Structure 1
Amino acid sequence: MTTADEPLAFGDFLFHPAARTLLLNGTPVTLGGPARSLLAALLAQPGEVVGAAALMESAWPGGARGEANLRVQMTALRKALAAVPEGQGAILNIPGRGYQFTLPVRRLSAPPLVAGLPDEESGRPPPLLTRLIGRERELALLAERLEDRRLITLAGIGGIGKTSLALAAAGDWAARHGRRLRFLDLTALSDPALLPAAAGGALGLGTPGLDPVEEIGATLRGETMLILDSAEHLAEAAARLAERLLKRSPALRLLVTSREPLGAAGEWLHRLAPLEVPPETEPRDAAEVMAYPAAQLFVERASARLGGFSPKDSDAAGLALLCRKLDGLPLAIALAASRIDMFGIAGLAAGMADQLAAPGSSRRSTPGRHRTMRATLDWSHDALSPADQRLLRRLSVFRGPFSVTSAVTVTGEDVSIDAGRALVRLETKSLLHRVEGEGDGGPLRRLLATTRAYAAEKLEASGEAPALHRLHALHVLERVGAAEAMRPGMSPSAWRTAHAGLADDLRAAVDWAFGPEGEVEIGLSLLAGSGPLWLGLNLAAEYRHRLELALSRLTASGQGETLAALRLHVAAGMTILRNTGEVALVAEPLRRAIEIADRIGEGGAAIRAVGGLWMACIMAGDTAGAVRLSAEMDARIPPGTPPDSDLRQAHHRVAALTLHYAGDQREARRHADLAMHHLRARLDTSPYGLMIDQAAAVHVLDARLLWLDGRFDAARAAAGAALAAAEAAEDALSLCYALTQAGVPIAVWTGDPAAPERVEQLAATALRHRMPYWHGWARLFGSLSVRPGEVPSLPRELELTPYHLEVVATMNPALADSATIARAEAGQAAWCAPELLRAKAENLLRRAGGEPGAARAAERVLREALALAERGALRAWALRSATSLARLWRGQGEHGRAEDLLTPLLTTFDEGRDMPDLMAARKALEAA
């Protein structure tokens, strides 16, 4: 053997220069001729830079193919070498000079002992060049079934990964049992009559005069695993061959891949589903998305393309959307990943995914059967009857799962039984995919992205598209109404699960309605009626964007004072409050809604808009505005409305919270008790009336009033009830509200060690649901966790309202700034004014030390705070003021005055002995 013929080894690869053959661990690596020539040229000079001209001459002798072709071939070669970690980065591009092979290369004096060079002509399986992702369950199932089933068919649409799974499962099983593994690719065979002879030829057989099946059976008589790949176009012939082979060779196992069952005796069918994709809800971060196999596959293929890739948290939503758009189809995902360097995740998710739904692959290593998904679909479509072809193209208007009833409604099929049979036929041919759950007409099915894109082209060409899209939009509107009607009787999670599949169809219907051939009225009705679905699926940002576009269309068209416009303005305002808490942006849509409602006589909608404005005032700390809007809400309730009506009880909750902040705790308690009575009588926990779950809102009120009344144990229990109610409602806004208004403050006020955990819960919930206003509260609370004696530094970038500052001042008196104290002195911040005045006194004493003038000023302020607390029935603040005053007197030697002040006051508290405020009071009394 000459030096030029000696095998070259690098890593786990072996290259035979004379035969231009590359092996990976003894298995051939598929490469085109030019790529093999380029590898030979690089390996001839390892570690040296080989110029582009020399490389092109080696690949295309005598022909100038250009550097673009050179780059294409280098990309293919790099991908093949990157199948193992040490092969990544093996070829380095030196700009302006050429390419360099960087791995150590060894010449072998003699070829290693290998059993020939296996190839597909001898029935050897092709190598599985990439790792199988997301098929652990299927591999385990097939491993179990291959123990007792001799004929298994993997069925599914083209590009779903049937061949890869078959190779992995059969290879594992054959290795475990010491069987031989043989592989027959039936893609190129078109004549069923030639199947036995072609199969024998592919296995290296074909003795003249012998029955091919008998010869194959004799050859495979030893314990063998045989894969028949891509058998759908030869289903009947493949079934006959399988039956004869199994009869002839008792130890044989057959694993078949096909887009439809063979129908052979003893066949066990496994329909291969797409890879699991991230759900419709917005992901919290990249790690959450990477828990899904579709995303894992994309990232692995993108990493191979880019030489390393890890998605950022900012990529999470785009990656999740891309995986959903591609329906978890491995081939489509791999094709998308191959273009990440051109478009990035955002570009792929925004538009390229639609173009990738049914493309032809440009990868030279892609097997011929997958070179284009269109060829696969062409074959399947052409094999259908005209009626089934019509049904398939009409079904393309659906974006999500549909039942037989939905299919009949939209496609116009006359008889549901016939339509049901037609759907089964399409499913059998892997043109429809069955999904979990059942609809009103039995099983749910859907078209995968590749099939839907193909069928949509056929629909456009047929001229039926406009009518079908209109029928689809009307049907979606009907389904939205039905979903809303079901909501009161279901738990939020069950309702979301039941209707999450409607989201894609809702998007498609809205897009059509506002498109050039759509009907705006249908779109307005869809948006106005679907708010709970968008919000329940954590799609508030998308819903808000669509609402704003719709409102701009309304204004431009002069239809700004219709019922639909009214509903959209209310939805827009409420969505802003729910999603971002940008209270400054809420006034315009909600005030406009009130104007429209008054003009067209929609009193209920006007009351809801007033309620939204009231909520904005509460969030902004605008107590005067809240008082005014609470009164307006009461005035708008129609005379004669029953006291126990939902509307009256909603106002009781509004009035109670308003009066609480305004300082009238006795009247607030009266309204709160009425609301609590209604809550116990009628457990309606819808979060979409005044946005906050009714039970959570009432318990928050109860907890705050109990705290102020000095009933500390009861307040802590009520705060726990508020959190439990919000969690039971499965509503993020209600949970954030309950944590912010009761859970965290009362935990801090009562010295509950669970306070940090509640702050973390608030932060996690707000982040997950993209609610910046409530995440600001979490950051604010988190900033208070400092060592004793230190003054916290509040986050400067937060837009803090007076109410924010009031709350933190009650948690740490050192944070009571002059503006907040001035509000209390001016009669504002009434709910906590005594505590703010006490903070002023404490700050005076801390800054002035033992100066007599400061002590006298502090005493005056503390007396004022105590009197104010007693007048307002604010026993919690009265206890704090009295304790501070007693400490001041004790320091001045007036122990009797301190004892006379605290002793009778402490006797009025019969619970919460372990609370910090009561412990501080007892300590001050003992020192006196």
Structure 2
Amino acid sequence: MPRVAKFGSFELIVAQRLLTRHGSHVPVGSRGMEILIALVENHGQVLSRDTLMERGWPGLTVEETNLRFQMSLLRKALGDGQGNQQYIQNVVGRGYCLVAPVDWHESGENAEAADKTARNGGKGIRQSRLPAMPGCFIGRDDDARKLVELVETSRLVSIVATGGMGKTTVALATAHRLADRFEGRVHFFDLSPVVDSSSVAGIISSGLGLPPQGGDILSVVAGHLADAHALLILDNCEHLSEAVVSVCERIVEAAPQVHLLATTREPLRALGEHVFRLAPLAIPGKEEPVTAERALASSAVELFMDRAAAGGHREPLTDRDAKIVVDVCRQLDGIALAIELVASRVSTYGIRGIADLLDERINLHWSGQRSAVPRHQTLGAMIDWSFGLLSDTGKRILVRLAIFDGPFTMKAAQAVVQDAKTGLFEVGSQLAGLVEKSLVFTASTASPVQFKLLETTQSYVSAKLSDDRDYDAVALRHAEYQTARLKDDAVEDAIFGGRDMTGYSSSVAGLRSALNWTYKKPEHRVLFVRLAARAAPVFYGLSQLPDCELWSRRGLEKISEEERGTVLELLLLEGLAVASMFSLGNQHFVQESLDRGMAVAEDLGLLEHQLHLLAGQDILMTRVANFNAMANFTNRNSDIATASGKPQALAMVDWMNGVSSHMAGDQKKAVRFLEQGFRHVPVASDLHVDYFGFDHKIRALIALARASWLMGDTQKARKVAVEAIASADRRQRPVSICIAHIYTATVAIWAGDHDTADVWIDRLLATTDRFSLTPYGNVARGLLGQLRVARGEYRQGIIDLTSAILACQSDTHHVLVSAFQRSLAEGHLANGDDDAARDALQAGIDLSERSGGKYDLAAHFVTAAAIETSTGASPVAWLERAVKVARHQSAHHLEMQALIELAVRAEQAEERRRWRGDLAELTRRFPRGATGGIVESAHALLRTGSA
């Protein structure tokens, strides 16, 4: 009889791994349950953290944070700390202890059941011999609890899921938990080996211990069970559905105290059946930040690491590997068997090696345990079992659905799968049947409903599709369907203006597949070009820049003379230009694409396209640091914007003038233009000013923040910078997020707000890595180098800046290179290398003069003065140049920095009075409440005479 531990209001039945409170089940995960049992069995004793981790994660090396996480969940389940009740105490430096008194006793229910069986002399339904509880039961506690409740209230319950999901495991766990309630009369029948459906009743009769029967065996079984209180488990029913339904309905009618629990890959559709669909194991969501601790809290990853350890892998899960394991579990669709089979190979290939192999294609032939039933020894065998049960039509349709590499609708399936043999109605009917058989899943229940194949099934049927003689016909219908879906004006007119493309997100995999196939088929060149042109805005709108660049370029390679000068060519040119600029850098073909695109747009009289392309020219000139040429584009844009009459276009022209003025060094003019643009489209307006992949409102905000800081309005600069970040976050467009963080980070570094700069640069790096925005990633590393130099981490800062400058020069992305050169010079100077400092600074000054980007030229002169001081020369000439330039540009912050240096270094009293007087006058121009290190130094100098 099982022993029961009672503590507080809780009872723990150790053998069943069951915790109850006042008779109600308290859910506790498998790790937490092992830890709780250890604490209860050793109540009053302190168990070390190592002991508890070995108990919860046998054979695994895990971080202590995993134990703390499980302990937190356990305390929450116990209500520890509520109402002054304490069960578990943390003994600092030693471990944990269960401090509540524990009373051990035998299960009274079991004893009563045993006495009753003895009094009956063993007559009636005999005690069962259930298979043992599975040794690995992870992530299914909640399912077992729900099934216990469902079986108690329902006579016939079916557990439905695809193969390998863990139906048998959950059924056995449920049976063990219900054993006492059915007085031990729980019988398990594995029907997977049964071939003849007429044998089902005989199998059950034999399992119940009845003598061999002739005639109507089912009537004998039903009569024998008439007065019995029992639970029958019918495992693996999908290939015997009709026979199982007959047996179940007869028993339910004849034996009112008998309950049945079936496992099957599709509902039995029996009278009174209650279906319990078993979901995949839990996997962290795609938007959640993945750490080892968070990953191990999900059942899929927990099972993966448990099976990996059982196979000999002993390394702890790191945060970096956690992301890989989560991706692997996601590829395996959370299917327990698939995860177990793949994880068993980790000791051979390593976690990264496993991921690489899966990327190539899931290995359907990796073997599992030799003791497993044949259909569970490989993934291929598992799917073979289900595939073999389909009709010929069902097989043909399932194989053809492999053409969809992602979700698809009923309409898409009918358009692609139907042929002369299989009409639209038949496709719809068969698809519904495949869903019931758990071979196809509903990916979304929104309208229209979307379906998908699991990755494992996809791999299996894809191999069959490639060998299908009708493959080309199916692939052609698929490509034509994808092209037709993108034919509407909403896509063709989207250009790259920020239109919401999320409705097409499920089409990305299908578009890639159709483009790949048509690209390789010369006879379908026209279809390929049309599809590539219509897909470009979709790829860009969904931040799939590598796809946008690749297929736009290939589309232009395949375009015919007749198609040149059409909207198709224009879309491809825009796609190539915008995607290449943001993902590959400012290569020569970006300018060529913009020029050719403008010519086509002018010939076609498409004003909106012209505005986009001129915006692209302006952005390109900014990125390559050709600020002298920017005015030409803004003047031309002004004429087109006026012709369009749109407030967004008029605002964009003002903002482009503002950005150009800011970069050229006229901050007063910059602020005037920028604020004028916000009169056309206020900050709070719902209008979006999206041209050529940029949200120009965000671009204007960051320019306004920088110009405001240079002019001395630190509070406004901070407020506008925060609004730029918030606007980018609201839009959730990667390019806008990048530019917002790049240029607000520069303001934070200027202001000495290193913590804020650190946060913004970290978010920038995460975005560039996630969306393959390599040029912005190089800029981010340059900003990181600037921050490190500002913090005094000179050696690492020099390394970061040197690498970033080379990468930006390779990308022809020069906009911040001059500033990076100055920071590099400051790093070398602090390291005592005056020559390297002078060379780096001179390169920065040369670039500023050559490009016309003189907004921080005064800061270069201040750094030059510091280099002169280091070599024993006078810095005064450089500082006076800095004052002159900054004053001309209304860059009051930079002017203040140079004046402080002059006032401190002045040797003559008359010079000191002059510079202090200029400094005092300048401070009065700063808005009240202006803050920052430079402002505070100026006030300190004026108060005390020293900086």
Residue 199 of structure 1 pairs with residue 204 of structure 2: yes
Per-residue CA deviation, residues 464-494 of structure 1 (Å, 9 max, x unaligned), is 3322212212222344566965998999999
Q: Distance in 2 between matches of 1:169 and 1:222?
A: 20
1:417 Cα shift? Answer: 6.7
Q: Distance in 2 between matches of 1:732 and 1:724?
A: 13
- CA spacing shift, 1:362–1:136, aligned 2, 3 Å: closer
The answer to whether the 8 A contact 1:205-1:216 is kept is no
SS in 2 for 1:513: helix
- CA spacing shift, 1:500–1:130, aligned 2, 3 Å: farther
Q: Name which of 758, 777, 782 aligns with 2:782.
A: 777
Match of 2:589 in 1: 588
1:570 Cα shift? Answer: 3.9
| Equivalent residues in 2 for 1:369-518, closer than 5 Å | 369-370=375-376, 391-412=397-418, 420-440=428-448, 443-452=449-458, 463-480=469-486, 485=491, 496=502, 498-516=503-521
- CA spacing shift, 1:175–1:635, aligned 2, 3 Å: farther
- CA spacing shift, 1:173–1:574, aligned 2, 3 Å: farther
| Equivalent residues in 2 for 1:458-857, closer than 5 Å | 463-480=469-486, 485=491, 496=502, 498-516=503-521, 519-531=524-536, 533-534=538-539, 539-541=544-546, 544=549, 550=554, 554=558, 564=568, 567-579=571-583, 582-583=585-586, 586-592=587-593, 594-595=595-596, 598=599, 601=603, 608=612, 611-612=615-616, 614-620=618-624, 622=625, 625-632=626-633, 634-635=635-636, 641-642=643-644, 644=646, 646-680=648-682, 683-685=686-688, 689-746=691-748, 748-749=750-751, 751=753, 754-771=756-773, 772-786=777-791, 793=798, 795=800, 797-800=802-805, 804=816, 806-807=818-819, 814=826, 817-818=837-838, 819-820=840-841, 824=845, 827=849, 829-845=853-869, 848=872, 854=874, 857=875
Deviates most, 595-604 or 507-516 = 595-604
- CA spacing shift, 1:833–1:86, aligned 2, 3 Å: closer
Q: Distance in 1 between matches of 2:288 and 2:516?
A: 20
Q: Distance in 1 between matches of 2:499 and 2:251?
A: 52
The answer to whether the 8 A contact 2:283-2:334 is kept is yes
Match of 1:96 in 2: none
Residue 367 of structure 1 pairs with residue 388 of structure 2: no
Q: Unaligned 5+ residue runs, structure 2? A: 1-14, 17-55, 62-113, 115-125, 809-813, 830-836
Q: Distance in 2 between matches of 1:307 and 1:579?
A: 38
Q: Distance in 2 between matches of 1:388 and 1:644?
A: 55
Q: Name which of 937, 943, 946 aligns with 1:920.
A: 937
Q: Distance in 1 between matches of 2:534 and 2:526?
A: 12
- CA spacing shift, 1:357–1:260, aligned 2, 3 Å: farther
**AA partner of residue 661 (structure 1):** M
Q: Name which of 876, 884, 890 aligns with 2:893.
A: 876
Give the % identical residues: 23
Q: Distance in 1 between matches of 2:291 and 2:551?
A: 24
Q: Distance in 2 between matches of 1:217 and 1:373?
A: 41
The answer to whether the 8 A contact 1:196-1:213 is kept is no
The answer to whether the 8 A contact 1:562-1:596 is kept is no
Deviates most, 832-841 or 127-136 = 127-136
Q: Name which of 225, 240, 245 aligns with 1:239.
A: 245
The answer to whether the 8 A contact 1:700-1:738 is kept is yes
1:198 Cα shift? Answer: 1.3
1:311 Cα shift? Answer: 7.0
1:741 Cα shift? Answer: 0.8
Per-residue CA deviation, residues 355-401 of structure 1 (Å, 9 max, x unaligned), is 65765957532213445776776676676666655544443322322
Q: Name which of 163, 166, 169 aligns with 2:168.
A: 163
- CA spacing shift, 1:208–1:142, aligned 2, 3 Å: closer
Match of 2:157 in 1: 152
Q: Distance in 2 between matches of 1:869 and 1:778?
A: 23
Match of 1:42 in 2: none
The answer to whether the 8 A contact 2:161-2:279 is kept is yes
1:727 Cα shift? Answer: 0.9
Match of 1:111 in 2: none
Q: Distance in 2 between matches of 1:314 and 1:539?
A: 24
Deviates most, 610-619 or 550-559 = 550-559
Q: Distance in 1 between matches of 2:856 and 2:418?
A: 65
Q: Distance in 1 between matches of 2:919 and 2:498?
A: 49
SS in 1 for 2:193: coil
- CA spacing shift, 1:886–1:329, aligned 2, 3 Å: same
Q: Distance in 2 between matches of 1:203 and 1:891?
A: 112
The answer to whether the 8 A contact 1:513-1:522 is kept is yes
**AA partner of residue 163 (structure 1):** T
The answer to whether the 8 A contact 2:614-2:637 is kept is no
**AA partner of residue 646 (structure 2):** D
- CA spacing shift, 1:303–1:375, aligned 2, 3 Å: closer
Q: Unaligned 5+ residue runs, structure 1? A: 1-24, 27-82, 89-114, 116-120
- CA spacing shift, 1:482–1:730, aligned 2, 3 Å: farther
The answer to whether the 8 A contact 2:157-2:273 is kept is yes
SS in 2 for 1:680: coil
The answer to whether the 8 A contact 1:707-1:746 is kept is no
Alpha-carbon RMSD across the aligned residues, in angstroms, is 4.8
Q: Distance in 1 between matches of 2:609 and 2:288?
A: 29
Q: How many residue pairs are counted as aligned between the two chains? A: 800
Match of 1:94 in 2: none
SS in 1 for 2:187: strand
**AA partner of residue 904 (structure 1):** E
The answer to whether the 8 A contact 2:160-2:278 is kept is yes
The answer to whether the 8 A contact 1:663-1:831 is kept is yes
- CA spacing shift, 1:629–1:908, aligned 2, 3 Å: closer
SS in 2 for 1:784: helix
Match of 2:11 in 1: none
- CA spacing shift, 1:129–1:569, aligned 2, 3 Å: farther
Q: Distance in 2 between matches of 1:87 and 1:810?
A: 50
Instruction: State TM-score, norm by structure 2.
Output: 0.72
1:912 Cα shift? Answer: 2.8
- CA spacing shift, 1:650–1:431, aligned 2, 3 Å: same
1:185 Cα shift? Answer: 0.6
1:201 Cα shift? Answer: 1.3
Per-residue CA deviation, residues 247-289 of structure 1 (Å, 9 max, x unaligned), is 5555543221112222233211022344456777899788887
SS in 1 for 2:415: helix
1:829 Cα shift? Answer: 4.4
Q: Distance in 2 between matches of 1:509 and 1:297?
A: 36
- CA spacing shift, 1:861–1:592, aligned 2, 3 Å: same
The answer to whether the 8 A contact 1:426-1:432 is kept is yes
The answer to whether the 8 A contact 1:567-1:605 is kept is no
1:186 Cα shift? Answer: 0.9
Match of 1:35 in 2: none
1:422 Cα shift? Answer: 4.2
Per-residue CA deviation, residues 71-122 of structure 1 (Å, 9 max, x unaligned), is xxxxxxxxxxxx995799xxxxxxxxxxxxxxxxxxxxxxxxxx9xxxxx99
